[in-house]
């Protein structure tokens, strides 16, 4: 009897002695927002932390759900172990819609062992006015028949460029629609369009009407009759020797050949380049060496280069080689030179003598 009792006591001591005490780990779960109240359209910055016994719980697989006042999920995010730093921290952000429901929201953080952390925040009406601004202009204020009217503008909302906004463009005259166009704004809120005037475009005021995001803005331009170009006048030659006149009148025309003769020049440099300026913009295609050239006394054409300057309001003719000394030459401008298809009334010549 004593032997059996001793055996049982010994077994009980062995069993008790072999049990190792165990302790449950402590999980710490934190969740915070940068504010407690937001306006519609605001950005919410969210940060969290998961610790296990004071160390980063990288295997906890935290996930976040944001619920609107109707408890419908609005936003979901989840972090992997590589997205949690050594302090167990992680972060994200969420931008409320401009028309987000007003009321109390919940941000709920969950981890794999079932623990949760909930933080509430309020969403209020955006107090900033949702003003849309539309600007529109044409490249010039006045145009002529056959011109192209470039239309450009920008759409902004609350002083910020409004991207991907539909823009309706309407060109009218005297209430009659001439063109309708539809554009979408670029990343900077800008848009461009255009209107091609016909050769029979009526003179007067044209209206450009632009509508975007419910806001309408207008601008206008005029179409005028084009005036015939006047004869060009030469730029005074920049020579160290003051040009002298040979006594011929600047207004003397050759009635037989319909030629207007400019005052002749003497003492011209051998490397002289002539600059001719016009009173209006000329057709650039007409400003060529076939229409503007220099002849020597034997009527041989001097090889020259023609350079259009001032966007067609001037031209520079430069001989490719030095001219001969003490020789006479003639600068010619033919009636092939034109402005908007209208040729000069007369050919122009100017004789000059080199040093």
Q: What is the pLDDT of residues 284-298, one digit of tens each?
A: 888 998 899 999 988
- Kindly report, residue by residue over 95-133, the tens digit of the pLDDT: 999 889 999 999 999 998 888 999 999 999 877 656 889
C-alpha to C-alpha distance for 318 and 167, rounded to whole angstroms: 50
DSSP bridge partners of 308: 315
- Kindly report, residue by residue over 54-91, the tens digit of the pLDDT: 888 888 889 999 999 999 999 999 999 888 999 899 99
**Rounded to 5 degrees, what are φ and ψ at 81?**
-60, -30
- Four-way CATH pick for 233-354: 3.30.1330.10, 3.30.70.80, 3.40.640.10, 2.60.40.1220: 2.60.40.1220
Reduced to 3 states, what is the DSSP secondary structure of residue 183?
A: strand
Fold of the CATH domain 27-124: Immunoglobulin-like (2.60.40)
pLDDT over 60 (residue 234) = no
Give which of 217, 210, 215, 216 is closest to 195, Cα–Cα: 210
Give the range with max mean pLDDT: 169-178, 242-251, 307-316. Answer: 169-178
Q: What is the pLDDT of residue 13?
A: 46
Give which of 79, 77, 54 is closest to 64, Cα–Cα: 77
Query: What number of other Cβ atoms are within 10 A of residue 156's Cβ?
Result: 20
Q: What is the pLDDT of residue 23?
A: 58
Query: What number of other Cβ atoms are within 10 A of residue 257's Cβ?
Result: 9
- Residue 16 pLDDT class (50, 70, 90 cuts): very low
Where exactly are the structural domains of the chain? Answer: 27-124, 132-223, 233-354
27-124 against 132-223: fold identical? yes
pLDDT over 90 (residue 240) = no
Fold of the CATH domain 132-223: Immunoglobulin-like (2.60.40)
| pTM, to two decimals | 0.36
Block residue for tokens 């409320």: 96
C-alpha to C-alpha distance for 119 and 133, rounded to whole angstroms: 38
**Rounded to 5 degrees, what are φ and ψ at 218?**
-125, 155
Give which of 135, 136, 105 is closest to 121, Cα–Cα: 105
């Amino acid at each position: 009897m004593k032997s059996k009792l001793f055996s049982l006591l010994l077994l009980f001591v062995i069993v008790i002695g072999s049990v190792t005490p165990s302790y449950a780990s402590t999980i710490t779960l934190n969740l915070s927002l940068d504010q407690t109240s937001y306006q519609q359209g605001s950005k919410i910055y969210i940060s969290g932390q998961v610790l296990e016994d004071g160390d980063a719980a990288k295997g906890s697989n935290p996930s976040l759900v944001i619920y609107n006042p109707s408890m419908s999920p609005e936003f979901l995010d989840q972090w992997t172990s590589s997205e949690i730093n050594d302090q167990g921290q992680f972060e994200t952000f969420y931008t409320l819609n401009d028309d987000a429901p007003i009321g109390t929201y919940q941000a709920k953080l969950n981890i794999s062992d079932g623990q949760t952390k909930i933080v509430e925040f309020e969403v209020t009406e955006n107090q900033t006015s949702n003003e849309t601004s539309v600007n529109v202009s044409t490249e010039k204020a006045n145009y002529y028949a056959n011109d192209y009217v470039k239309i450009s503008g920008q759409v902004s909302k609350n002083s910020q460029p409004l991207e991907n906004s539909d823009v309706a463009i309407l060109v009218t005259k005297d209430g009659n629609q001439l063109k309708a166009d539809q554009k979408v704004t670029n990343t900077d809120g800008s848009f461009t369009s255009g209107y091609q005037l016909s050769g029979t475009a009526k003179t007067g005021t044209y209206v450009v009407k632009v509508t975007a995001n419910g806001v309408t803005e207008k601008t206008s331009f005029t179409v005028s009759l084009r005036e015939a170009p006047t004869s060009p006048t030469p730029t005074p030659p920049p020579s160290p020797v003051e040009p002298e006149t040979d006594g011929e009148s600047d207004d003397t025309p050759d009635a037989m050949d319909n030629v207007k003769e400019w005052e002749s020049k003497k003492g011209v440099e051998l490397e002289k380049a002539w600059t001719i300026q016009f009173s209006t913009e000329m057709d650039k295609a007409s400003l060529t060496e076939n229409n503007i050239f220099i002849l020597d006394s034997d009527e041989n054409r001097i090889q020259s280069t023609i350079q259009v300057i001032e966007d067609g309001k001037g031209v520079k003719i430069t001989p490719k080689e030095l001219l001969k000394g003490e020789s006479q030459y003639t600068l010619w401008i033919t009636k092939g030179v034109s402005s908007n298809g209208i040729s000069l009334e007369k050919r122009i010549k100017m004789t000059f003598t080199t040093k």
